[in-house]
Amino acid sequence: MGTEGGNVRVVGGRYRLEARIGRGGMGVVWRASDTLLARQVAVKELGVDETLSEDEARQQRERMLREARAVARLRHPNIIVVHDVVLHDEHPCIVMELIGGGSLADRTARDGPVDAVEAARIGLALLAALRVAHAAGVLHRDLKPANVLLEPGTGRVVLTDFGIAQVEGATTLTETGGFVGSPEYTAPERMAGDRAGAGADLWSLGALLCAALSGESPFRRDSLGGILHAVVYEEVRPPAEAAPLLPVIRGLLEREPARRMGLDEAERLLLAYLATGTTPRPALSRMPYAPIRREVPGLRGRRISTRVLLVAAALVAALAGAALAVALLLAHRDDNAPSGPTSSAPGVSRTATASPSPTPTVTVTRQETRTPTAPPGYRTVADRKGFSLAVPEGFTRSLDGPRVLYTSPGRTFRIGIKLSAVPAGGPGAAQRRAAADGPRTNPGYRDGKVTDTSHDGHDAALWEFTWNGFSAAEGARHTLDLCWREGRRMYDVWVSGPVGRIDQARAYFDAAVDTFAPSATE
């Protein structure tokens, strides 16, 4: 079992947690030191549903450990190495190799989309990883750019985060019946609630290749309902940038699993492209992908059925719950918005509780002491206004009245900070006043939501909304805004970014809130 001393936590008797480096739907990832072998590792703590009975929770932990150990048996250069699986404070922990550098999502956000040659190289590496996983009966089920690591120096492509993987014949690493995964990259058969085979991972690969080439999934929409409709029903329209690899992408994004391009054929076409610069036409006789289990009937041309609508309702309900609510709660508020609370940071675990009022209450319990340590690709700034926080490399500082702004080149992403006296009614009242004034301060203001929460033990409120941006050229934007009270001060941190790049805005928001610290004189 792990021990705790001061701010240091030791998991499994040997893994000393040093800094949180990520968070996903299934848990928190830490950079840690293996004190026995004197090496750096990554430790992922998997969350256990606290609402389960003692017996149900025990069964869930056992299932998580059993399936995590099955994933640990996978061995391939393009699959993250799992060193150990332990139980700490009743939470399963997966100990993995630590990969320097960032993810494919980080790379495209920082440097823009990759070219077709690089996309083909990444695609081949992921196909090799899936071949090994599927042969062992393991489905990944959350293949997306954020789960693809790119090792600096070597160019190695590493598939990570098997935290929601499914082992053949077993339930998932989450509770039975719960939806897991990222809707923009989720196969239509899974969206429809049908049983999905290994071909679902290949659909996700097709969407991932589109995102690598263009910067976003072809199924990205402004709402969960819009994403569901796009995945299950709308005509699939790969971006123009996908043209060099279009035969592969169209084959992988075939809605009917039985007609979807198989792993062998996708690999053949990508190899041919790298060798000749041209992607040959698919061999139709080689298209079907042999499933781990039966594939479900196709969805091509099917109207959205009652079952699909029920799945959509379940997804929306899930988003109101603890796990997926976090994703919505991480939308920040715009730089032109009045001060108010925003969502909690990556080092915070959030648990939503049902509330009869229009505004739900979220209880936030911080799992570690805030630290200004900047994650890779960020730098810590000590601002003369009386605070420090981590901002991405290349962001520049400016002032907008009492607000401090750190903006990316071209002002695509904006991080805003405001310090003020505590207003009447505290964070919640301040955010609601700002939301009520939203149509005046933010052109095209819509989908506004204020959620009472807490941050580092302090009263807080999160405001999230979409708006049209300051000009037609700028386009629609999404804002996440967290405001909290510490002593006699109100701290407000927000991030805004393009609607089509909400995930990246959330990542910047997480880092800003997680590393924010008032100056000692504050």
Per DSSP, the residues of 181-226 read S-GGG--HHHHTT----THHHHHHHHHHHHHHHHSS-TT--SSHHH
Q: Is the pLDDT of residue 86 over 80?
A: yes
What lies within 8 Å, CB to CB, of 117 at 6+ separation is 274
Determine contact, residues 27/20, Cβ cutoff 8 Å: no
CA distance 362 to 416: 23
Candidates 274, 310, 303, 514; CA nearest to 415 is: 514
Give the confidence band of 89 by pLDDT, cuts at 50, 70, 90.
confident
pLDDT band per the 50, 70, 90 thresholds, residue 181: low
Find all residues with CB under 8 Å of 436, minimum gap 6, and list them.
Answer: none
* Contacts of residue 424, Cβ cutoff 8 Å, sequence gap at least 6: none
Residue tagged active-site, from 34, 84, 106, 142: 142
DSSP single-letter state for residue 377: T
Residues 258-262: contacts with CB under 8 Å, at least 24 apart: 258/288, 258/295, 258/298, 259/287, 259/288, 259/298, 259/300, 260/199, 260/202, 260/203, 260/287, 260/288, 260/289, 261/202, 261/287, 261/289, 262/199, 262/202, 262/286, 262/287, 262/288, 262/289, 262/290
Domains and CATH numbers, the chain: 3-97 (3.30.200.20), 104-286 (1.10.510.10), 322-518 (3.40.1000.10)
Q: Is the pLDDT of residue 95 over 50?
A: yes
Residue of higher predicted confidence among 325 and 272:
272
Higher-pLDDT residue of 54, 405: 405
Q: Give the model's pLDDT for residue 397.
A: 94
Distances, alpha carbon 111 to alpha carbons 115, 153, 243, 309, 410, in Å:
11, 17, 20, 38, 13
| Residue 51: DSSP 8-state | T
Q: Determine the average pLDDT of the residues in 322-345.
A: 36
pLDDT of residue 299: 39
In this prediction, residue 435 carries a pLDDT of: 94
- How confident is the prediction for the chain on average, in pLDDT? 77
Q: Which residue has the higher pLDDT, 137 or 287?
A: 137
Confidence (pLDDT) at 26: 63
pLDDT at 7: 58
pLDDT value of residue 160: 86
What is the pLDDT averaged over residues 86-95? 83
pLDDT of residue 372: 52
Which residues, 6+ apart, have CB-to-CB distance to 106 below 8 Å? 377, 507
Alpha carbons within 13 A on the beta-carbon side of 106: 19
Tell which wins on pLDDT, 58 or 189: 189
pLDDT value at residue 483: 93
pLDDT of residue 312: 53
User: pLDDT-derived band of residue 522, with 50, 70 and 90 as boundaries?
Assistant: low
pLDDT at 59: 76
pLDDT exceeding 70 applies to what percent of the chain? Answer: 75
Q: Pick the residue with more confidence: 91 or 288?
A: 91
pLDDT at 180: 53
| pLDDT, greater one: 6 or 248 | 248
Task: State the pTM of this model.
Answer: 0.55
Task: List 518's β-bridge partners, or say none.
Answer: 387
What pLDDT is stored for residue 320 in this prediction? 43
Give dist(CA 321, CA 179) in Å, integer: 12
Collect all residues with Cβ–Cβ distance below 8 Å to 144 and sequence separation of at least 6.
Answer: 105, 182, 184, 185, 204, 207, 208, 211
Residue-level pLDDT at 82: 86
The whole-number average pLDDT for the span 337-357 is: 35
pLDDT of 331 above 50:
no
Please give the residue that has the higher pLDDT: either 40 or 173: 40
Active site residue 142: yes
Highest mean pLDDT among 104-108, 310-314, 319-323, 468-472: 104-108
Confidence of residue 214 (pLDDT cuts 50, 70, 90): very high
Q: How confident is the model at residue 168 (pLDDT cuts 50, 70, 90)?
A: very low
The per-residue pLDDT for range 310-319, each reduced to its tens digit, is: 555 555 444 4
**Whether residue 382 has pLDDT greater than 80:** yes
pLDDT at 284: 53
14 vs 11: CA distance, rounded Å: 6
For tokens 């640990």, name the residue. Answer: 72
Per-residue pLDDT tens digits for 257-313: 888 999 999 999 999 999 999 998 887 544 444 333 333 343 333 334 444 545 555
pLDDT, tens digit (0-9, with 9 covering 90-100), for 456-470 = 778 889 999 999 987
Question: Nearest to residue 157, comparing CAs of 187, 189, 125, 179?
Answer: 125
The whole-number average pLDDT for the span 330-354 is 36
pLDDT of residue 169: 39
Residues 18-69 have pLDDT tens digits of 998 877 556 788 999 999 999 999 998 877 677 778 887 777 777 677 667 7
pLDDT at 4: 41
Strands 387-392 and 378-383: antiparallel
Residues 172, 169: Cα–Cα separation, whole Å: 10
pLDDT at 122 over 90: yes
108: pLDDT confidence band, cut at 50, 70 and 90?
Answer: very high
Mean pLDDT of 482-495: 92
Q: Which residues pair with 149 in a beta bridge?
A: 103, 158
- Lowest mean pLDDT across 24-28, 373-377, 477-481, 512-516: 24-28
**What is the per-residue pLDDT for 371?**
45
Which of 183-197, 209-223, 489-503 is predicted least confidently? Answer: 183-197
**Tokens coding 423:** 């207003």
CB 112 within 8 A of CB 215: yes
At residue 51, the pLDDT reads 75
| Per-residue pLDDT, 340 | 37
Token couple for 10: 């030791």
